[in-house]
Amino acid sequence: MRLVCLSDTHSLHWQIPNIPDGDVLIHAGDSLGQGTLENVADLNDWFGTLPHRHKIVIAGNHDWAFQETSQAARAMLTAAIYLEDSGVEIEGFRFWGSPWTPTFMDWAFMLDRGEPLFQKWEAIPDNANVLVTHGPPKGIGDLATLGFRCQNVGCSHLLNRIHELSLKAHIFGHIHEGYGEYRLADTQLINASTCTERYEPINPPIVLDL
């Protein structure tokens, strides 16, 4: 199975020059710009132009429509499978998606570090094959520039949960500076952020063959 991974497109999806073909297109959140239902409709139109047989999308901290007008947003997204602390099985592979990130300022789908996030990661099934979260685990693709210093801003509880699972892949985004591929034991980790720090949608989608 070929996965085509992207994230953090911020409603700039039409500007992405090339989307490789594959079996499953995965979008790891922050697909919207202003977070409106109009953004969702435009995203759905774009998904409809892509040839991938299956498309999975989760929300991110900019995707307000999926938090504040969830029913309407989900109804509009007819061209993709939306996962929110839920899963889907595709051709024998079990996918699980979750939008939550550690609290930072006042954005969508954020929870305090500690027990609130711990409970979300505990809900990931033990038999999951591919995990899609918006945020990274602690220390992997999570180095962010905050003011004049860099800091690892990923979630330590998410990292601990990954160690407990036997994942083939973990796809995330959120931290644009962390774009790239990483490895943790037998798990391939991908920060698929399409936009750079300057919100330029120039990072290519990352392809992974399972």
Instruction: Look up the domain containing 167 and give its range.
Output: 2-209
Count CB atoms within 10 A of the CB of residue 177. 15
Single out the residue of 33, 22, 84, 30 nearest to residue 55, CA to CA: 22
For 40-82, write each residue's pLDDT tens digit.
Answer: 999 999 999 999 999 999 999 999 999 999 999 999 999 999 9
- Look at residue 146 and tell me whether its pLDDT is greater than 80: no
For 155-165, write each residue's pLDDT tens digit.
Answer: 999 999 999 99
- Split into its structural domains, the chain has a count of 1
The Cα–Cα gap between 86 and 66 comes to 14
Question: What's the CA angle centered on 199, arms 193 and 202, to 5 degrees?
Answer: 60
Rounded to whole angstroms, the maximal C-alpha distance in the chain is 46
The Cα–Cα gap between 58 and 182 comes to 21
Question: What's the CA angle centered on 137, arms 135 and 139, to 5 degrees?
Answer: 120
Tokens standing for 94?
Answer: 């079990």
Region 194-205: what's the mean pLDDT? 96
DSSP string, 140-201: SS-EEEETTEEEE-SBHHHHHHHHHS--SEEEE-S-GGG-EEEEETTEEEEE-B-S-TT---
pLDDT computed for residue 150 by the predictor: 84
pTM: 0.97
Going by pLDDT thresholds of 50, 70 and 90, the confidence category of residue 86 is very high
Q: What is the CATH number of the domain that holds 24?
A: 3.60.21.10
